[in-house]
Amino acid sequence: MPQIKIFCCLIVFSLFLGIGCASKRNIPVAQPQKTEIIAVLRQANDYFMNKWPDTGEPLYTTRWRPSNIWTRAVYYEGLLALNQVDPQRRYYDYAVDWGEKHQWGMRNGIQTRNADDQACGQTYLDLYQIDQQEERIAAIKENIDFIISSGKIDDWTWVDAIQMAMPVYAKMGVLFGDEKYFDYMHQLYLYSRNVEGGGLYNAADKLWWRDKDFVSPYKEPNGEDCYWSRGNGWVAAALVRVLEVLPIDAQYREVYLQDYQELMAGALAAQRADGFWNVSMHDPSNFGGRETSGTALFVYGMAWGVRNGILDASIYKPALHRGWTAMVQEAVHPSGFLGYLQGTGKEPKDGQPVSFSSVPDFEDYGLGCFLLAGSEVYKLLDIKD
C-alpha cells in the first residue's frame, strides 16, 4: 500500500508540472500496431451499431430529434473513414440505409441555412462517390446552391459550423469541377475567421474562440482566454477534410494550410502530460481532466498532417501517439462504450461532469471523432520515417 500511495503522488506531481511542458511532449511512446487499432475501432463501432440497429430511429434526450442531425452525421464521417482501413460491406450498408431512411435529405429541409443540418451532406457526397446515384446528392446540392444564390455569407457564427459545412463545399467543388463552391466556402470561412465578433481566430495563441460570446474580454477563471478543445478540434477536422480533397493548385489552399499548421501548434502546446486535452485548453483548473472528443479530433488532425508531410514527425508523432494510446487505454470500456466524453454544448462547463462512466446526451459524435482518429493513425503506420 505505501508503494501505491507513493506512485500515485508521483503521478499527481508529474501531471502538475508536466501539462503543456515541451520535454513531456517529446517523451517517446510505443507506436500502436495496426491489428490493435482495428480491434479497438471494431470494438467501439460494433457497440454502437448493435445498440442502434435502426438507422432511422429518432433520438431522444430532452426532446425528440431526427437521426440525421449533426451528431449522427459526424458518426458516419468516422464510419466511412473506418471503412477505408477496415473495408466491410456492413459499414457501407449501414451508411446507405441511414441516407435512405432520411430520403437523402436534411433536417429542416432544402432551404436550411444551419450548418448543423448540412453536415449529413459530407456522407451523402462520399457515398455518391462510391455509387453514383443522383438521389444521394440532389438535396444537398439544391441546398448549397440556394445558399450561394442568396449571397449571404454570415451563417457560420460558431466554429462548429466550419466542420459541419465547409467540407461539403469543398467536396462539391471537386465533384462538379465548379470554382463557385470554393469561392463561396472561402467567403463563409473568412467571415468566421475575421469578422464574426471581431474574428473568432486568435493568431497570438493560434487557437479559436467558439463564438463571439467567448472573444476577449471574456476570460476563464484563471484569467486566460477560453479555448474549448472540441471547438478547436472541429476547426482542425474541417481544415483536414478540406485540404484532403482540395486541388493542390486551388486558390485558397495556402490560407487553409497555414491556418491548419498554426492550429496544430496551438493545440500541441496545450496537450496534457497524459496525452489527453482538457476541455479548457488554457485553464486546466476549469473542469480539467481527460476528454475524448477534443483529444480524438486533435489526434486526427496531427496524424493527417504527419502522414502528408505537413507536420514535423519528430514533434507531432509522439504527441499524437500519446493521445491515441491514452484514449485506448483510459477511455474505451470493455463493451466498446467510450468514456470521458463531454456531452453537447459550447464551453468547458457544459455536459459536466465528465468521467470514465459518465454517459453523454449523445454518444454518436464522440465515436465518430474516435473513428476518424484511429483510421488516420492506422494510415500513418504505412509511412516510413
Assess whether pLDDT exceeds 50 at residue 14: no
Least confidently predicted of 21-30, 55-64, 72-81, 203-212: 21-30
> Hey, how many other C-beta atoms are within 10 angstroms of the C-beta on 245?
15
* 346 to 159, 227, 230: CA distances (angstroms): 10, 10, 9
Assess whether pLDDT exceeds 80 at residue 339: yes
Provide the percentage of residues in the chain whose pLDDT is more than 70: 92
- The structure's pTM equals 0.93
Q: What is the pLDDT of residues 287-331, one digit of tens each?
A: 999 999 999 999 999 999 999 999 999 999 999 999 999 999 999
Query: b or e along 176-202 (b: 16 or more beta carbons within 10 Å of the residue's beta carbon)?
Result: eeeeebbebbbebbbbbbeebeebbbe
Instruction: Return phi, psi of residue 308, to 5°.
Output: -95, 10
> Hey, how many other C-beta atoms are within 10 angstroms of the C-beta on 151?
8
- The pLDDT value recorded for residue 272 is 99
Question: Which domains occur in the chain, in start order?
Answer: 39-380 (1.50.10.10)
The SS3 of residue 140 is: helix
Query: b or e along 30-64 (b: 16 or more beta carbons within 10 Å of the residue's beta carbon)?
Result: eebeeeebbebbbbbbebbbeebeebeeebeeeee
Assess whether pLDDT exceeds 90 at residue 16: no
Provide the percentage of residues in the chain whose pLDDT is more than 90: 91
Name 172's Cβ contacts closer than 8 Å, sequence gap at least 6: 125, 140, 141, 144, 178, 181
Grid cell in block for residue 207: 487557437
- The pLDDT value recorded for residue 5 is 39
Name 4's Cβ contacts closer than 8 Å, sequence gap at least 6: none
Q: What is the mean pLDDT of residues 179-186?
A: 99
- The pLDDT value recorded for residue 24 is 47
CA distance 329 to 349: 25
> Taking the mean position of all CA atoms in its chain, how far away is CA 192?
18
Confidence of residue 62 (pLDDT cuts 50, 70, 90): confident
Confidence of residue 27 (pLDDT cuts 50, 70, 90): low
CA distance 14 to 357: 25
> Taking the mean position of all CA atoms in its chain, how far away is CA 56?
23
Rounded (5°) CA angle 243-246-249: 110
CA distance 304 to 124: 22
Closest CA to 70 of 374, 370, 364: 364
Assess whether pLDDT exceeds 80 at residue 362: yes
Assess whether pLDDT exceeds 80 at residue 3: no
Which position has the higher pLDDT, 22 or 33? Answer: 33
CA distance 188 to 210: 16
Which position has the higher pLDDT, 26 or 208? Answer: 208
Instruction: Return phi, psi of residue 211, to 5°.
Output: -160, 180
Confidence of residue 384 (pLDDT cuts 50, 70, 90): confident
